[in-house]
Amino acid sequence: MLLYVNGCLRDESRTKRLADLWLERRTYEGEVCRVDLARLDVDPLDAVGPNPLGAYSKAVRTASYEHPMFRFATQFAQADEVLIAAPFWNYSLPAKLHAYLELVCSQGVTFDIDETGAYVSLCHIGRLTYVTTAGGAQVDPLDDHAFGYVRTLAERFWHIDDVRCVAAWGLDGPSANVDQLLLEAAEQ
């Protein structure tokens, strides 16, 4: 299964257009499962509320993952490939995607910790592709707190060897041909 996590919050999102273009050009034989974060309640772990930290900690201690907060992690762990689409906002990613990733990083579901303290992946994802767009010029990788964050999670928690970024930059420039820039990025 290819899990397509749409972290774009606007229907007319250029990032969503790029992700859809990229997906159209992919040869994928299996099921594509779509998660549209704009249309879901995605709440972070918190002291109170729908995803209480105490319930999370108890579930990890007892290996009991029936609470609805684990639904995203369970789905993620079953994927063969992941596509995440998110606009580049303020050198980072949308808060709703961050909350989703916080729930996906569930010990005992998508990763665990061995006796030496090392992270062990419980996923079998072969590739993770992160799709993004920005109105401004491409940033230095050290200033990218979006793809850098996702790449770190993918490599350290889930041991995904093939982690890539598909990006279109400079879309708000005075002479930018947005359609052409999106098409060029999709063909990477």
Strand segments (E) across the chain: 2-6, 32-36, 81-85, 111-113, 119-121, 127-133, 162-168
Which run of H or E residues covers position 143?
none
Provide the mean pLDDT of the chain.
Answer: 95
Indicate the CATH number of 2-186 among 3.40.930.10, 1.10.10.10, 3.40.50.300, 3.40.50.360: 3.40.50.360
Q: Which residues does 165 contact at the CB level (< 8 Å), separation at least 6?
A: 129, 130, 131, 132, 147, 151
For the chain, give every domain's residue range: 2-186
Residue 32 has pLDDT above 80, yes or no: yes
pLDDT at residue 141, rounded to an integer: 75
pLDDT at residue 24, rounded to an integer: 93
pLDDT at residue 66, rounded to an integer: 95
pTM of the predicted model, to two decimals? 0.95
Q: Please state the rounded mean pLDDT for residues 4-17.
A: 96
